[in-house]
Amino acid sequence: MGDSIISVMKEYPGKRGLILCNSYVEVSHYDDYLYVHNPEQYERLTVHRRGDSAETLLEEHTEKSNSVIISPSLWEGLSLDGDLGEFLIIAKVPYPSMNDPVIKGLSELDKNRYFEDACAKIRQGVGRIIRSEEDEADIYILDGAFRTLYRHNKKLFPENFQERVIMV
């Protein structure tokens, strides 16, 4: 995934973007990977660390013309209008954790709930940069598992969703 993230970032050299992850561990992994394998792209990162506020990240992101925020928790509550969000990378499908007893219990009651929750979170993530019908941004979903999720749950996404998504 690290190489795929680097490839996408290279396609948008003077643009701002957002990378959504599922945990701080995942953020740290990609942060370390870019530091070692591509220092030029690493310099662009605005890394969300525990305790950072969305306001602080947005302020730092706004100051750099090519900043890319990488975060595990900005799936909602962030608005990257206009040139603040010109591309989005979702590294892995945000499936809910089956280690959470509530999630496990709900999915036992309704088997589709697990997949519906993942689809809802993806829609939320895309909504960070696509704020209206006029907004344009490229959306990359790197996890191959998304193809199957999408094929079985198309009805949970807007009609034009597939046209806007690049599945790597």
Can you list the domains of the chain with their CATH numbers? 2-167 (3.40.50.300)
pLDDT: is 24 or 132 the higher one?
24
CA–CA separation, 32 and 97 (whole Å): 24
In this prediction, residue 133 carries a pLDDT of 75
Q: Are strands 68-71 and 87-90 parallel, antiparallel or unpaired?
A: unpaired
Secondary structure class of 90 (helix, strand, coil) = strand
The helix (run of H) or strand (run of E) holding residue 128 is none
35, 37, 82, 111, 133 from 128: Cα distances, Å: 26, 28, 11, 28, 13
Largest CA distance in the chain: 48
CA–CA separation, 135 and 129 (whole Å): 8
CA–CA separation, 152 and 112 (whole Å): 10
| Summary mean pLDDT of the chain | 93
In this prediction, residue 112 carries a pLDDT of 86
Judge residue 93's burial from the number of C-beta atoms within 10 Å of its C-beta, 0-12 exposed, 13-18 middle, 19 or more buried.
buried
Classify each residue of 15-41 as buried b or exposed e, where b means 16 or more C-beta atoms within 10 Å of its C-beta: bbbbbbbbebebbeebbebbeeebeeb
- Minimum mean pLDDT range among 17-21, 57-61, 162-166: 162-166
Kindly report, residue by residue over 41-76, the tens digit of the pLDDT. 999 999 999 999 999 999 999 999 999 999 999 999
Give me the mean pLDDT over the 24-41 stretch.
Answer: 97
Q: Please give the share of the chain, as a percent, with pLDDT higher than 70.
A: 100
In this prediction, residue 164 carries a pLDDT of 81
Kindly report, residue by residue over 131-160, the tens digit of the pLDDT. 877 788 999 999 999 999 999 999 999 888
Whether the per-residue pLDDT at 108 is higher than 90: the answer is no
In this prediction, residue 155 carries a pLDDT of 95
- Measure CA 164 to chain center: 14
CA–CA separation, 93 and 22 (whole Å): 8
CA–CA separation, 47 and 70 (whole Å): 5
In this prediction, residue 55 carries a pLDDT of 95
In this prediction, residue 63 carries a pLDDT of 96
Contact (CB, 8 A) for 147 and 123:
no
In this prediction, residue 104 carries a pLDDT of 82
